[in-house]
Amino acid sequence: MRIRTLPGAVLACVAMHGCSPAADEAKRVERGQRLLGHYQCGACHSIPQVTAARGGVAPPLERWAGRNYIAGHLPNRADTLARWIAEPQALVPGTAMPDMGVSEADARDMAAYLMSLE
């Protein structure tokens, strides 16, 4: 079993406010789900549990966590996915995925939601 140590700031948060890393992650996932709707990702993709995300132009995003690759050749890791969401043209110039002006923080939360789809 692998045990991760928590940074001091996280431990202080838990001690002072009763928050937990799992609760924080759940908030990020929930926020990411909303942001996928906000940025209208569903105009091209179908995305589970995202209102009006019924697009058929781009690949569907269900069961994202089980995929091996992003855009066919980038390793499917949360950090790479967040970067892909924020700046796909920088990773794969000429890709059909447009740069949508997604901030790094929003992209991390959107990636958290997609990585929760098993």
What is the CATH classification number for the domain harbouring 71? 2.60.40.420
Q: Within a domain: residue 106?
A: yes
Residues 6+ away with beta carbon under 8 Å from 118: 63, 65, 66
Alpha carbon distance 50, 61 (integer Å): 11
Q: Within a domain: residue 63?
A: yes
How many domains does the chain divide into? 1
Which range of residues forms the domain containing residue 55? 8-115
* Residues paired with 54 in a beta bridge: 46
* Residues paired with 74 in a beta bridge: 70
- For residues 59 and 9, the model is more confident at 59
Mean pLDDT calculated for residue range 77-91: 98
- The predicted pLDDT at position 7 comes to 46
Q: Within a domain: residue 17?
A: yes
CB 56 within 8 A of CB 70: no
Q: Within a domain: residue 36?
A: yes
- The predicted pLDDT at position 20 comes to 84
- For residues 15 and 29, the model is more confident at 29
Alpha carbon distance 84, 90 (integer Å): 8
Q: Within a domain: residue 32?
A: yes
* Residue 52: pLDDT band with limits 50, 70, 90: confident
